[in-house]
Amino acid sequence: MKVNKTEIQVRYQETDMMGVVYHANYLVWFEIGRTSLIDEFGFKYKDMEDAGIVSPVTDVQVSFQKPVRYGDEVSIKTWIEEYTGVKTTYGYEIVHEDGTVAVTGTSDHVLVKRDTFRQTSLRKAFPAWHEAYKNAMEPS
């Protein structure tokens, strides 16, 4: 399975009054990891948008295990958990420098035509992207 790793240094504005990363920021970090994974495959989400296709989130799951604080350096590990040709589930881990997992999660996405919001398949709209996703799920 292909796993992308993106480094993040926690900024002060990402924390709350307790000095811990505010929970909603993990969703932003998931997006950073997802975009980095897509880039690593050689594709750009902007190209999808330029073709009139968008990929809305249909579900998000987040599990908080250990706090991340201002000044910490963490990695976002991102992979394709499940792919059906229509729906993609991305998996995420936010990991401290010492290897301790701080946060895990998943997000589900579908493809729709921007103007009608009618669902379409990655296989049909972007065949090369579809092949990359299928290959990314194979054991390394």
- What token pair was written down for 102? 């701080």
Cα 41 to chain centroid distance, Å, stands at 13
What is the CA 10 to chain-centroid distance, rounded? 18
In whole angstroms, give the CA distance from residue 109 to residue 96: 27
Residue type, 36: S
Which two tokens mark 109?
């996405």
16 counts as catalytic: yes
Of 58, 61, 90, give the one whose Cα is nearest residue 76: 90
- What DSSP letter does each residue of 11-34 carry, written as one string? -GGGB-TTSBB-TTHHHHHHHHHH
Catalytic positions, please? 16
